[in-house]
A and B are shown apart, each in its own frame.
Chain A
Amino acid sequence: MSAPLLSAVNMVAGYARGLPILHGVSVAVAPGEIVTLIGPNGAGKSTLLKAIAGLIETEAGRIALGGSDITSLPAHRIVAAGIGYVPQTANVFTSLTIHENLKVGGHTLGAGLAARLERAYALFPVLAEKRAQRARTLSGGQRQMLAIARALMTEPRLVMLDEPTAGLAPVVVGEVFGQLRRLAESGVAVLMVEQNARAALRVSDRGYLLVEGSNRMQGPAAALLADAQVAEAFLGGKRRQPA
């Protein structure tokens, strides 16, 4: 791994002070790299993303983006610092139109907004057709596309996604992962949490296995996929033979 873009070190965080869910987790993501967090429910994967996004307080630990400390910045400043975040649920404004969702996504932009809107529509043509519709009329897959497009409006250096393929049809899952791959190839760092761990690791460069708020294992995605212990415990049964 080259010099990390994001490094979160010894993170202690949770939803109530003094009741941490993360007990000193550390992760790092390099530019152009896809990193997936796997682990059982309650391992603190989503909590880690929320702490990095500034939505919950970091009680101890240090988060740096491109070398500068962003540990105690409020959420809206973290967006400006270059991190895009796609929550798992309620990740689009259903009462706003597609166009308005993208505009709100570009809230921190000044004059560059129009160009970014055009770029978002070029990247996700399906959204362009429906730009005047309210987001609640979108299908699950389109909604996820909108959520990703919204997070990309600020051209973040790091995009974090919480369960980007939850509840999506298999064909749409491939589409979402394809978009993430293209994104990484353009130099953006991607950090995601996936229930669909096997498929996520296949598109990832590296992975972290978190258990009970601590690092358990980390390494190249292929190595995690191949690890019998990981496969049995966290990827749902024995590793399938390659077809």
Chain B
Amino acid sequence: MIAQALADGLLTGAIIALGAIGVSFTLQIMRFANFAHSELLTWGAYIALVFVSFAGPGTPTGPLSFGWQLLAAAAAAAVLTGLLAWLVDRLVFRRLRRQCAHPLTMVFAAFGAALVMRHVVVLFWGHESYFYTRELQMALELLPGVRVLPDQIFILLLAIAIVAALHAFLTYSRTGMAMRAMAESPALAQTCGIEVDAVIRWTWILSGALAALAGVFAGLTPQIHPEIGFNLLLALFAAAILGGTGSLIGAVVGGLLVGMAENLALLWINPGYKQAMPFLLLLLILLVRPQGLFGGKK
């Protein structure tokens, strides 16, 4: 039972991790809590759905329920959602940043942006649920008593590959280094010749792309609905806060832990309370280690 919960937790955790990286980026580089981030997951899932409805999810490849077409749709959704994130910044956040708005003002603006983004989705696609694919999958018994779908394993491996690539980008690339410099001190970064607007643009594009992938993966297991991102909002923030400051991708570890804690708790707690779990976790984190796992004491 516990092993199964941990396996499930790892899989939801991977999705939360991908989504939480963007939350962590905005918290550390742009220094505000972007409550509209969850809507980027939703938009990513729906943009991929548009591509899938034209090209189909593809013929099932091996044990997977989809073919390369779905992956191409996810990649296209990542690019477009990245641009959407940047567009929202241009329309909303950049104006406020230019006026040196208080971080709380940014948070309220984010709430507003989130409402608009969510309801545009409802306007286009309605409240009903969609599926990328209706193929049925047989669960594999990995260990005695631990069953997972091949799709889930694929998602986990892909998420690991994406995080590894992102880590390499942040560690070695010029832009990645500029992002880490900005996270520590925007003023000093400028004095090094770093163009703040350029770093912010890349931060949004990356955050949006990762959010879209999280959204597609969430939609694959198993369905897409307008609240797909919103339902993960608290989990994303719990993961980002647990990851803390001090590491731009600490949110990955935070995401995996939140995913596993959520699923483990369900062993003892009525599933009706599932929605409250990330909130409880968030409170616990803030009580015990408010600076996060990787942050130093301030």
Contact = CB atoms under 8 A, between A and B. Distances in A.
Contacts of A94: 184
B193 A93 contact: no
B192 interface: yes
B187 A93 contact: no
B178 interface: yes
Which bracket fits the contact residues of A?
20 to 34
B192 A105 contact: yes
A87 B191 contact: yes
A94 B181 CA distance: 9
A151 B246 CA distance: 24
Given A76-B196, A107-B174, A96 B180 contact: yes
Nearest to A109: B193
B178 A107 contact: yes
B192 A79 contact: yes
B195 interface: yes
Contacts of A76: 190, 192-196
Contacts of A218: none
Contacts of B178: 104, 107
Contacts of B184: 93-96
Given A105-B192, A107-B192, A95 B180 contact: yes
A107 B191 contact: no
A113 to B, nearest CB: 9
A177 B188 CA distance: 22
B121 interface: no
A95 B185 CA distance: 10
Interface string A65-81: 00000000011100110
Please indicate which of the listed interface residues A53, A80, A90, A93 has the most CB atoms of chain B within 10 Å of its own CB.
Answer: A93
B192 A87 contact: no
A91 B192 contact: no
A91 B188 contact: yes
Contacts of B180: 93, 95-96, 100
Contacts of B146: none
B193 A80 contact: yes
A107 B193 contact: yes
A87 B193 contact: no
B181 A104 contact: yes
A55 B177 contact: no
A108 B193 CA distance: 6
A153 to B, nearest CB: 8
B41 to A, nearest CB: 28
Interface in B155-194: 174, 177-178, 180-181, 183-185, 187-194
Contacts of A90: 185, 187-188
Nearest to B175: A107
Interface string A45-61: 00000000111000000
Given A93-B184, A96-B177, A104-B177, A53 B246 contact: no
Contacts of A87: 187-188, 191
Contacts of B181: 93, 96, 104
Contacts of A107: 174, 177-178, 192-194
B191 A79 contact: yes
Contacts of A75: 187, 190-191
A130 B44 CA distance: 44
A93 B191 contact: no
B65 to A, nearest CB: 42
A215 B193 CA distance: 30
A85 B189 contact: no
Given A93-B184, A96-B181, A107-B178, 6 more contacts: A55-B187, A79-B191, A79-B192, A87-B188, A107-B194, A108-B192
What are the 3 closest A-B residue pairs judged by CB atoms, nearest first? A79-B193, A108-B193, A75-B190
